Amino acid sequence: MLSCKDSTELISQGMDRRLSLSERMGLRLHLLICRGCRATEQQLGFLHDAGAAWRQHHDLPSTQQGDSK
Amino acid sequence: MTPNELSLQLAGLRPRLLRFARLQLRDDGAAEDAVQEALLAAVENARNFEGASAAATWVFAILKNKLIDEFRRRGRTPVVAADDEVALEILLEEQFDARGHWREPPPAWSDPAASLEQTRFWEVFEACISGLAERPARVFGMRELLGMETEEICKELGISASNCWVLLHRARLGLRDCLSRRWFGEN
C-alpha cells in the first residue's frame, strides 16, 4: 500500500508525465481510503488551473507551447 | 505597423510583462532589462506585425526566452546549499509521520474556483510563490505560469527529470500550505 507521502508524489507527477498502470491503480486505491490525499489531489489540480488563470488575469497572451497539456 | 504605432500599443503591456518577469526572476533590475529587450525586439520588427495582438503574443514569447536565458545563465553559477530549500523540505517532511502518513490530514478547500475571480487572491498567490525557495519557485513558474512541458524545463535548466519532479512536488505542497494558511484558512 502506498504511503500518503508517496501518493502526493504521484499526484504531483501525474500532472507532468503519464503514470504507469500500476502507479495509477495504486494511487486510485489509496485515494479511496485517504481523505487528506483526496484534498491534496484537488488542491494541486487547482494550482495547475490557477497558473493558466493567472496569465489570463494579467491579460498575458499564452505562449505557443503553453497549455498543451 | 510603424515602429511608433507599435510602441504606443505595447506601452500598456509593459507593466504586466514586468510583473511577470519580476515574479520569475526575483530581481527588479534583471526583470526590467528582460522586458526592455523584448519590447525593443518587437519594435524593431514592427513592420512584420498585422496588429497589436500578434505583436503582444510575440513579445511574450520573446520575454519567455529571455527569462529562460537568464535561468540558464544563473544555473551555471555555483549553487550554494540553499537554506530556504532545506527549510521547505523540512516543512514538508514534518507533515508526515515515520511511515509516511499524514500527521494531520490537510483539510479540503471549499469552492477554490471562486477565488480565481478575486483580485486579492492573486496578490496572495504571488506572495506565496515569492515566498518559495528559489529553485522550486523557478521550476513551478516555468511549468505552471509559462506552461512549459517538464521535458523542456529539464533541458533548459540542465537537471534530470526526477530532479524536476521533486522540485515541482515541493513547490506545489509548499504553495498549498501557504494558500491554506494565508487564503483558504481565513475564508
pLDDT tens for each residue of B95-133:
999 999 999 999 999 899 999 999 899 999 999 999 998
Cα–Cα distance between B112 and A53 in angstroms, integer? Answer: 12
The DSSP-derived string for B113-160 is: GGGGG-HHHHHHHHHHHHHS-HHHHHHHIIIIIS---HHHHHHHHT--
Q: Sorting pLDDT into bands at 50, 70 and 90, what band is A19?
A: very high
Residue of B nearest to A48 (CA): B144
Q: Which three cell numbers stand for residue B44?
A: 524593431
Question: Which residue has cell 514569447?
Answer: B61
- For chain A, the 3-state helix, strand and coil shares in percent, each to the nearest 5, are 65, 0, 35
Is residue B82's pLDDT more than 80? no
Round to whole Å and give the CA distance between B124 and A58: 15
Q: Which pLDDT value is given to residue A66?
A: 40
Domain ranges, ordered by start, for chain B: 3-76, 83-184
Torsional class of B26: left (φ above 0), alpha (ψ -120 to 50), beta (otherwise) = left
Q: What pLDDT does residue B16 have?
A: 85
Q: Is the dihedral of CA B149, A36, A3, B95 positive or negative?
A: positive
Residues of B in contact with A8 (CB under 8 A): 169, 173
pLDDT of residue A36: 96
Instruction: Say whether residue A16 is in contact with chain B using an 8 A CB cutoff.
Output: yes
Maximal CA-CA distance, chain B: 65
CA distance B142 to chain A (A): 10
pLDDT tens column, B59-76: 888 898 898 888 888 765
What would the CATH number be for the domain defined by B83-184? 1.10.10.10
Residues of A in contact with B96 (CB under 8 A): 3-5
Class of domain B3-76: mainly alpha
**Using CA atoms, how far apart are residues B92 and B115, in angstroms rounded to an integer?**
25
pLDDT score of B103: 95
Q: Regarding predicted confidence, which is higher, A31 or B20?
A: A31
The residue-averaged pLDDT of B150-159 equals 87
B181 close contact with A: CB closer than 8 A: no
The predicted model gives B164-179 an average pLDDT of 95
Tens digits of per-residue pLDDT, B4-54?
A: 877 887 888 888 889 889 988 888 999 999 999 999 988 888 888 777 777
Judged on CB neighbours under 10 Å (0-12, 13-18, 19+), B83 is exposed
Rounded to a whole number of angstroms, the distance from the CA of B129 to the nearest CA of chain A is 11
- Euclidean distance between CA atoms B151 and B158, whole angstroms: 10
List the single residue in A4, A47, A59 with the smallest CB-CB distance to B172: A47
Ranked by mean pLDDT, the top range of A7-11, B130-134, B158-162 is: A7-11
Comparing B51 with B85, the larger pLDDT belongs to: B85
Which residues from A are below 8 Å from B183, CB to CB? Answer: none
Q: Is B109 on the interface with A (CB under 8 A)?
A: yes
Q: Give the mean pLDDT of B156-183.
A: 92
CB contact under 8 A, A43 and B20: no
